[in-house]
Amino acid sequence: MRTLSIFRGLIALSVVLYGPCLLGCGGKVGKDFQPKGPIERWSNAEWARVLSIVVTPDGYVRHELLEANEQGVRDELFRYVGKINAAGPENRPELFPTQADRLAYYCNAYNAVCMYLVVKRDFPSNMKTSGIFFLDKVPVGGKNMNLDFLEKTYLRPFDPRIHFAANCMSASCPPLRNEPYEADKLDAQFDDQGRRFLSDPRGAVNAGDGRVAISGIFRFYTSDFTATHRAKTGSEPSNVLEAIRPFAAEDSPVQSAISSQFQEYDWSLNRPPTK
């Protein structure tokens, strides 16, 4: 009886944490949102429209517009995810001939699928406990995967700047860009995201006495930035600040800081702050 009570307690806790999508809320979007025919050329047009409508100037998401399907924005998101379900660099390599094409695709896919799963899970208050990153699997180019696998396999190994671009829909994430990532300007977009993030309070805040409080992202992924520093300079960075300074603008507090500390990461949904 005690074992049964514990089991029931765990189920109850799981329902609290993960809600009605206990076994996952992912999967393909409905057939109404799937491509109507073969994809002859990859386009981010639907995603561009979604971002232009729901992203605020400071990079938060107006989720209430998605919930209300304002200007058909939720349908546009679902159609774009339908394209991601159907085609990607592995099953349609001819659509993504360069490394930049592939990296842009996977970065857009990560952001769009994460936003889609937020809708599917009815706008969870806490992204870390929502189950979105691990429980939910969605076809990406015909291959079922969760967001954690997508990030670790197709994004992190190739460029540390993806940590400025991939957005997990949490309040402490870097500002979400209001345009898709495109292969022909990907370097400039990634560089701009780094400068923007490290001059934003979510990325770096002057803590006084020569200290700077930097995003928890740099604690989670320290090795990605230090490895890039070693590869470019041939030397070990003295600390994480030295590794991230090349990505920061001149006005960023990391440029003049002597030491750093990590901010507490806010996993709440990335809604615009209330004033």
Question: Which residues make beta-bridge pairs with 214?
Answer: 204, 262
Q: What is the pLDDT of residues 36-69, one digit of tens each?
A: 988 999 999 999 999 999 999 999 999 999 999 9
**224 and 160 Cβ atoms separated by less than 8 Å:** yes
| The model's pTM | 0.91
Residue 111 has a pLDDT of 98
197-251 tens-digit pLDDT: 999 999 999 999 999 999 999 999 999 999 999 999 998 988 999 999 999 999 9
- Pairing mode of beta strands 211-214, 204-208: antiparallel
Strand-pair partners of 140: 143
What mean pLDDT, rounded, does the chain reach? 92
Strands 204-208 and 143-145 come out as unpaired
